[in-house]
Amino acid sequence: MSGTRSDSARRAAGQPGDYHVHTTYSDGSGTASECVEQAIAAGLCEIGIADHLSAVQPTPWDSASIPFAELDRYVAEVRGVAARYGEITVLLGVEADYVPEHEAELAKLLSAYPFDYVVGGVHVIDGFDFDDPAKRDDARWSDCDALFAANYRAVRRAAELGRFDVIAHLDYIGLWGHAAGPAVDAQIDAALDAMAMFGSAIELNTDRISDPAGVMYPSADILRRACSRGIPLVISSDAHAAEHVGRLWDEGIATAREAGYREWLRLSDRTLVPLPPG
Ligand SMILES: [Zn+2]
Ligand SMILES: [Zn+2]
C-alpha cells in the first residue's frame, strides 16, 4: 500500500500518525526501523514508537516491558531512526503500565528519560492480569461489573496523575467479550471527566484483529461520550508487528467520524487538525 495519490495527499496535509507501536524492545516482533518503513509505505506523516514499560520490575504478573537496562539503548535507537528518515516524523514514546501502587516509581522513571509523550495503559486490575488467556475462566469474571468499575476507577486515577498524554484502549477489560452493565456508567463518566480535566487524549485502538472480542477500543458509546466532552483523539494500531503499523486506518477514521469527531491530535506539536473524510 505505497505510493498512491491518497498516501501523498495524507502526508502533505501534516496529518497525525500512529503513536502506539511496539518493537522488539518489549513484545513486538519488528524493529523501530521496520515499523517506520511501514509507516512511510502506509502514507503516515508521523509515527511514535511506544514500547511497554513497567515501573517496577520484575512484576508479580507476566508483563512485557523494556528492561531497565535497555532503556538508554531504546532511546538512542528511536532517536537514531528519527534522524535517519527525513520523510516522516518519528517520536519517542512509551506505553507505561498504569498500576496505582507503582505511581511513585513510574513518575521517577518517566522523568529520567526524554520521552516525547507517554501513553498510559491499564492491563492489570488489583493484581489481576485480566488479559492472560490462562485466566479467562477465573472466578473474578463472575462479577464483570465489579471488574469494569475497577478498570474505570484505574483510568480515572491514571488521568488524575497528569502524566499521560494519551490513555490507551479504555475498555480493554472487555477483550474476552464481556461488557459493562448500566451500573458502571457513573465510573465511565468519572473517568472521562478526569481525562477532559487533566488533558489526556483518548485512543481509538484499531487492533480489533488480535483480541478475541474483535472490536476496536473503546466502544462507540464511550467514544461518543469522549467526543462530547472535547477529549482529544488519537487513532493507533497498537501494532506488535511492523506490517500492522497503520492497520485499519481508514476504518478508524470512519469510526471516529461516526462518534462525532472532526479533529484529531498531532502529537509532534500538540495541534488538533481536521480529520480526513471517512
Ligand atoms: Zn496496552
Ligand atoms: Zn500496546
**Domain regions of the chain by residue span:** 5-274
CA 70 to chain centre: 21
pLDDT digits (tens, 9 = 90+) for 18-33: 999 999 999 999 999 9
Query: Which pTM was predicted?
Result: 0.94
Of 141, 138, 133, 207, nearest to 179 by C-alpha is: 141
Ligand in nearest proximity to the CA of 27: 2
Q: How far is the CA of 56 from the centre of ligand 2 (A)?
A: 18
Cis omega before residue 277 (within 30°)? Answer: no
CB 151 within 8 A of CB 140: no
Give me ligand 2 centre to Cα 95, in Å. 6
The whole-number pLDDT of residue 3 equals 40
| The three three-digit cell numbers of residue 154, written as one number | 484505574
Share of the chain above pLDDT 90, in %: 89
The pLDDT value given to residue 13: 58
Whole-number Å distance, alpha carbon 123 to ligand 1 midpoint, is 6
27 CA → ligand 2 middle, Å: 9
Q: What is the pLDDT of residues 59-96, one digit of tens each?
A: 878 789 999 999 999 999 999 999 999 999 999 999 99
> What is the whole-number distance in angstroms between the Cα of residue 43 and the centre of ligand 1?
24
Parallel, antiparallel, or unpaired: how do β-strands 89-97 and 117-121 relate? parallel
Name the β-bridge partners of 21.
49, 239
Helix axes 144-161, 185-198, angle to 10 degrees: 10
173 touches 130 (CB < 8 A): yes
Compute the distance between CA of residue 137 and CA of residue 131 in angstroms, rounded to an integer.
11
pLDDT at 204: 98
83 CA distance to ligand 1 middle (Å)? 27
Pick the ligand that lies closest to the CA of residue 51.
2
Q: Which of 53-67, 158-172, 256-270 has the lowest mean pLDDT?
A: 53-67
User: Does position 12 have pLDDT exceeding 70, yes or no?
Assistant: no
Ligand nearest to the CA of 48: 2
- Pull the grid cell for residue 231: 477529549
Nearest ligand to the CA atom of 20: 2
5: CA distance to ligand 2 center in Å? 30
The DSSP output letter for 88 is S
Measure 188 CA to ligand 2 centroid, in angstroms.
21
> Looking at residue 71, what is its pLDDT?
98
Q: How far is CA 183 from the centre of its chain?
A: 26
User: What are the residue ranges of helices labelled H in 88-184?
Assistant: 103-111, 144-161
Per-residue DSSP letter, 159: H
What confidence tens digit (pLDDT) does each residue in 131-152 have? 999 999 999 999 999 999 999 9
Distance 225 CA to ligand 2 centre (A): 23
Annotation: CATH topology of 5-274: TIM Barrel (3.20.20)
* Ligand 1 centroid, distance to 44 Cα (angstroms): 21
Confidence of residue 8 (pLDDT cuts 50, 70, 90): low
Pairing of strands 117-121, 166-167: parallel
Mean pLDDT score, 100-116: 97
pLDDT digits (tens, 9 = 90+) for 192-244: 999 999 999 999 999 988 888 889 999 999 999 999 999 999 999 999 999 99
Which residues does 261 contact at the CB level (< 8 Å), separation at least 6? 223, 227, 233, 275
Q: Are 201 and 233 in contact (CB under 8 A)?
A: yes
Helix (H) or strand (E) holding 118: strand 117-121
